[in-house]
């Protein structure tokens, strides 16, 4: 391959890069936005896919892609855009915030009556 590293990154370096990008967070946001803009689909399909992915990122771990795929199929969204939306919003940095928001929403809906 033309653009391959001589020595691939190890596990520790891949985890570090995933949590803290090499360049900056704004560059990562630009990268994801360019990936979404370059999709070969209608604007409605891309928007519906991203919305499904963001919605699916509020579900517990492991169910993101399944929920995003089912929701995409129901609203005729783009599956690639849904996967990008779920990955971008469901990362380890935002997961504690999403879990806290889900917990507080559940308490609000149950009127602070949690099962014992």
pLDDT along the chain (116 residues), means of 10: 75 80 80 78 88 84 81 90 82 76 83 67
Look at residues 96, 89, 98 and name the one whose alpha carbon lies nearest to residue 28. 89
Q: What is the pLDDT of residue 30?
A: 86
* The pLDDT of residue 74: 92
pLDDT of residue 94: 72
Tell me what pLDDT residue 88 has.
Answer: 79
Residues 49 and 77 sit within 8 Å (Cβ to Cβ): yes
Structure tokens at 77: 């969204």
**pLDDT for 113:** 67
**Cα atoms in the 13 Å half-sphere on the side-chain side of 88:** 25
DSSP 40: S
pLDDT of residue 93: 75
The crossing angle, in degrees rounded to 10, of helices 43-56 and 79-89 is 40
pLDDT of residue 61: 65
Predicted TM-score (pTM) of the model is 0.55
Nearest-angstrom CA–CA distance, 14 and 11? 5
């Amino acid at each position: 391959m033309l653009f391959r590293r001589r020595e691939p990154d190890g596990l520790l370096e891949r985890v570090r890069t995933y949590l803290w990008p090499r360049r900056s967070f704004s560059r990562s946001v630009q990268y994801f936005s360019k990936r979404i803009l370059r999709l070969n689909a209608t604007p409605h399909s891309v928007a519906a896919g991203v919305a499904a992915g963001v919605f699916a990122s509020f579900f517990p771990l492991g169910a993101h892609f399944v929920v995003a795929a089912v929701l995409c199929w129901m609203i005729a969204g783009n599956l690639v855009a849904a996967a990008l939306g779920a990955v971008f919003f469901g990362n380890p940095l935002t997961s504690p915030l999403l879990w806290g928001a889900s917990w507080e929403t559940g308490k609000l809906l149950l009127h602070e009556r949690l099962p014992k």
